[in-house]
Amino acid sequence: MSKVLIIGAGGVGGVVAHKCAQVPEVFTEICLASRTKARCDRIAAQVPRPITTAQVDADNVDELAALIDCVEPELVINVALPYQDLSIMEACLKAGVHYLDTANYEPPDVAKFEYKWQWAYQERFQKAGLMAVLGCGFDPGVTNIFCAYAQQNMYDEIHSVDIVDCNAGDHGHPFATNFNPEINIREVTQRGKYWEEGEWKEIDPMSISEMIDFPEVGPRKGYLIYHEEEESLVRHIKGLKRIRFWMTFSDNYLTHLRVLQNVGMTRIDPVMYEGHEVVPLKFLKVLLPDPSSLGENYKGKTCIGCVFEGIKDGKPKKRMLYNVCDHAECYKEVKAQAVSYTTGVPAMIGGYLMLTNAWAGAGVFNVEQLDPMPFMDLLNKYGLPWKEIER
């Protein structure tokens, strides 16, 4: 039916390539591109059907557009770095193709997570008759779909949403991040923020925590942090009075992180070292394990979901929608750990829905603005079954 160009050959890019290859009736041709072609070739060698690979600098709009013109895809799935979202969106406009990503744009020089830079493309994509879907991973992504589904099918009014994210797995390393170390560490060291009664409230990093009972995992301490899907959900979930995001971290992870912060290794501003400018966090990234290498020995599960409180038929209702994913099972299927899997599968599903016109339109969309029903069905079909329980 359609050709797709995947940009990014990390852990998530590998999952997207594998999962697209499982649906040949939709993804008839696949090209995987990255700054380092050898990474693409390694993934291609694992995929059980032929895919092409290419080298591209995702910061270079002209180079990206030239590759898109050469490949002629109907859709670009961006699983490169969030710093590169805008250049890839520009290239899609220049070449005239649809766009999908899994995380919002971040400026390299400041840890700031906002959709304003990408929302500003609304008129240009509309005029071009192109569709751009933002944040189609798990969180953001599936969590937004859960919210849209709950609004459509479970509640008359949703008053509060708590997005809860637990990785109860063990990768065997003293310290490692489950996705790009730069992005992960920037995310968890920024000031926390949540929305309540019509305004954003900021808190010191990791200053609020509580025990959360995660289905099939058990009680874990969750820390309140800011996450990008809150910004769009506040716009699109009617009647919302509060939204928060909670993520679990082991004591070991937090101890390592505190030490790294105390000695300046998490800084994102350049420092001079032997006459050269070095960004400490970029250097730290080189020293840490590549997230795509963690899968082989990973054990345990992830549990990610949304806890809703609201009103149905005049009565209070509290429910949770969630998914549990097993690291070892993910590795057996696609040679990846569950954090990459839970991001890559939704990206494939979003692409599937765009290419089959189940999701269609011109402009820039967050996923909760689109029909959640076919997405929820495909989650069950392609490896991320969801469940609903009373809380």
What's the pLDDT at 1? 61
CB 138 within 8 A of CB 343: yes
Q: What is the pLDDT along the chain (391 residues), one digit of tens a residue?
A: 699 999 999 999 999 999 999 999 999 999 999 999 999 999 999 999 999 999 999 999 999 999 999 999 999 999 999 999 999 999 999 999 999 999 999 887 777 778 999 999 999 999 999 999 999 999 999 999 999 999 999 999 999 999 999 999 888 888 888 767 777 887 788 899 999 999 999 999 999 999 999 999 999 999 999 999 999 999 999 999 999 999 999 888 888 888 888 888 888 889 988 898 988 888 888 888 887 788 788 899 999 999 999 999 999 999 999 999 999 999 999 999 999 999 999 999 999 999 999 999 999 999 999 999 999 999 999 999 999 999 8
Q: In 3-state terms, what secondary structure has residue 319?
A: strand
Give the pLDDT score at 244: 98
β-strands 276-278, 271-273: how paired? antiparallel
The pair phi, psi for residue 224, each rounded to 5°, is: -80, 120
Residue 281 token pair:
């966090």
Instruction: Please name each of the domains of the chain with its CATH number.
Output: 2-138+341-381 (3.40.50.720), 142-334 (3.30.360.10)
Q: What is the pTM of this model?
A: 0.94
Which residues make Cβ contacts (< 8 Å) with residue 238, sequence separation at least 6? 151, 157, 158
C-beta of residue 228 within 8 angstroms of C-beta of residue 116: no
Residues 6+ apart with CB under 8 A from 190: 111, 112, 113, 205, 225, 226
Q: Using an 8 Å Cβ cutoff, are 135 and 347 in contact?
A: no
Strand partners for 218: 214
Q: Could you tell me how far CA 62 lies from the centroid of its own chain?
A: 26
Which stretches does DSSP call E strand in 205-327?
209-214, 218-225, 242-248, 271-273, 276-278, 301-312, 315-326
| Burial degree of 259 (CB within 10 A; 0-12, 13-18, 19+) | exposed
Q: What is the pLDDT, as a whole number, of residue 185?
A: 83
Can you tell me the distance from the alpha carbon of 166 to that of 204, in angstroms, rounded to the nearest whole number?
21
